[in-house]
Structure 1
Amino acid sequence: MNTELFVKGITYGWNSSRGDYKSEYGIDSMKTLKETNSDWIAISFSLIQDKFLSTKIYFDYEKSLTDSEIIYAIENAHKMGLKICLKPVVNPLDGVWRGFISFSEVYEYWCEWYQSYNSAMLHYAEIAEQYHCEMFCIGCEMAMTERRTEEWVHLIEQVRKVYKGRLTYNVNHDSYKSVKWWEYLDIISVSAYIEMKSTTDLDIMRDSWISYKEEMKKLYDTYHKPIIFMEIGCISGTGCSKEPWKYDLINTAPINEDEQALYYSAAFESLWNEDWFGGFFWWDWPIKLYPLEEAKNDISYSPYGKKAEKIIREWYSK
């Protein structure tokens, strides 16, 4: 456990639509999240670009969450005593993973895209500052852009002019070495969808973390920044812990909340006492909760009402 920062968190309401944050079910969902003993919440929402090769990020007046809704969620979370990481995430509408956003070496396209991206980040950084968000995430899993150090450093410098809290960037679990600009941030964040070497044996699942923990310790020793797992989790289906990043397994895997619970237990037991480790934002907590009696039939990443939620409650009560 890192003494500078330790996050007991969950991501709230990913893929929310217009009106969700202010709805009765959205408010109820956040209250129920708070009851897991979480003290942090990641408010994560989509920014839109048409295709992964598009250079413009824009606001959709039919779909995009409004500033009013985001501010409402921030204020509501603070009233509940939750600290906040505000996390806007670019999502191409063509369904291509954001990590493939790239323009080869066409300088003009890169310039157009970064200008649009920077404008979007600065807008939400101002909201994060004005409404006292404790953390702001400047990007998520933008793998093909990460080698462009100059552009990212420039963005960080611009964001720091308007936001005074802790800054982080959310790298994918396999590309943290490509980021050469960690020194300019306050926190290193990782999407830690790490493959387990067993789906049923807790001891082997704990051992599955050993080599990755060694890599994270090296990263910590190099930059002396707390490392948080901004995304971590798996669906509640058979085989989910082998490929925890594969959301589409919800269409084929048999429901198995025991395996999801083992994944949670292995992560908590393996990571909790590491001095480099700054905590979790489990992925994820739905904006509209299914009826509690239907939890046994839900195969999504959500831990709500499942054995995984009980494990979160136990560890977050420490």
Structure 2
Amino acid sequence: MTKTITGCLILLFVSMQSCAPQLSKINGISFVASKHAIDENHVKPVLAIHANYAAIMPFGFLKDLNHPEIQYDSGNQWFGETKSGVSQYIGELKKHGIKVMLKPQIWVWRGKFTGEIKMQDEKDWQVLETTYTNYILDYAVLAQDLDVPIFCIGTELETFVSQRPDYWFSLIQKIRSIYDGALTYAANWNEFEQTPFWSALDFIGIDAYFPVSDRKTPTTEEALQGWARHKPGVEGISSQYNKPILFTEYGYRSVDYTGMAPWKSDRSFNQVNLAAQVNTTSALYEAFWEEPWFAGGFVWKWFTNHDDSGGRTNSMFTPQNKPAEQLIKRHYRLK
């Protein structure tokens, strides 16, 4: 993809001027890595819901929130989290016409929140920045080599970003020197208004876990009322930077009170509520998908082995084999 084509993509979402051929919304899924290679049998369920994009997420690992050395592409990781696996996944998805957002992201041991990564001194900050740069640029090269249209430079790294803004502007320049697709960053829902480098990117990326209702089973209308608190800020940041909004992650668990704190993945929070997942997801679609400044998004999350994933007794995020999957299928078919 050339810079001209990328510029055309962004212009489409911002101004809605014609850039032939006409491009649709990004109707994406977050494709979770597995131990094995994928084939068409793993891609068919993605096609069945009319998704046109998949986020591929090779993880890098930190031992703790103040540990500076990122480990990645190691023999201890699942195949789909390695460079070889990422290449194989992207190749298989592309064969079936599914585009990719490559989204390398950090996992802190025991699931500690990445937004709280903070080094203890300048020396450790320098080590973190060096290893993060190596990690991101390795995958930026891969994204360029495989003609990946969107590259995400980081996910929910609020303290790292706020403490070291100059580093991030420098990193973006380095990425631009080797990758000519569109760039985004996945800001957490309560972080995006403070992110300093939107002017240097192509999409304003938000992991859209906004609280929209404190009801056990919110109706779609109640969830829409909840969005009224947040949507003006989302539209405002798009207008401020003249950039389209991309929900780099969105979704709800099939659980009671799913709209109250949608980011929670605590397994003790497990009373299955399929209707709540459907209603909150439907409200998100109604609130955003028709807006000209909204580019689309990636539902969280989609496992490669579809037949064994999710189901009506599952209280976690995946919509697979639940009523929410049929909602997504209907919505993506029309958009």
TM-aligned CA deviation for residue 312 of structure 1: 0.8
Q: Is the 8 A contact 1:129 1:162 kept in 2?
A: yes
Aligned to 2:75: 61
**Residue of 116, 119, 124 corresponding to 1:109:** 124
Q: Is the 8 A contact 2:218 2:280 kept in 1?
A: no
Aligned to 2:274: 257
AA at the equivalent of 1:194:
F
CA distance in 1, matches of 2:320, 2:91: 23
**Residue of 119, 129, 136 corresponding to 1:121:** 136
Give the number of equivalent residue pairs. 309
Q: Is the 8 A contact 1:12 1:30 kept in 2?
A: no
TM-aligned CA deviation for residue 290 of structure 1: 4.2
1:54-112 deviation line (CA, Å, top 9, x unaligned): 111123322253321110000111111011000010111243111111125x2221111
Secondary structure at the aligned position of 2:276 is classed as helix
Secondary structure at the aligned position of 1:208 is classed as helix
Aligned to 2:229: 211
1:67-216 maps to which residues of 2 (within 5 A)? Answer: 67-103=83-119, 106-147=121-162, 148-197=164-213, 198=215, 199-216=217-234
TM-aligned CA deviation for residue 210 of structure 1: 1.3
**Residue of 280, 293, 296 corresponding to 2:297:** 280
CA distance in 2, matches of 1:58, 1:306: 35
Secondary structure at the aligned position of 1:219 is classed as helix
Aligned to 2:31: 12
In structure 1, runs of 5+ residues without a counterpart are none
Tell which deviates more after alignment, 168-177 or 238-247.
Answer: 238-247
Q: Is the 8 A contact 1:146 1:178 kept in 2?
A: no
Aligned to 1:221: 239
Q: Is the 8 A contact 1:216 1:276 kept in 2?
A: no
**Residue of 230, 251, 255 corresponding to 1:233:** 251
Q: Is the 8 A contact 2:212 2:260 kept in 1?
A: yes
1:10-32 deviation line (CA, Å, top 9, x unaligned): 1001xx34x33x056xx533321
1:228-264 deviation line (CA, Å, top 9, x unaligned): 111111111111121111111x433211111100011
> Over aligned residue pairs, what C-alpha RMSD do you find?
1.8
Q: Is the 8 A contact 2:186 2:207 kept in 1?
A: yes
**Residue of 13, 38, 46 corresponding to 1:33:** 46
In structure 2, runs of 5+ residues without a counterpart are 1-11, 18-22
| % identical aligned pairs | 27
CA distance in 2, matches of 1:253, 1:92: 23
Tell which deviates more after alignment, 273-282 or 167-176.
Answer: 273-282
TM-score (norm 2): 0.88
Aligned to 1:48: 61
AA at the equivalent of 2:180:
K
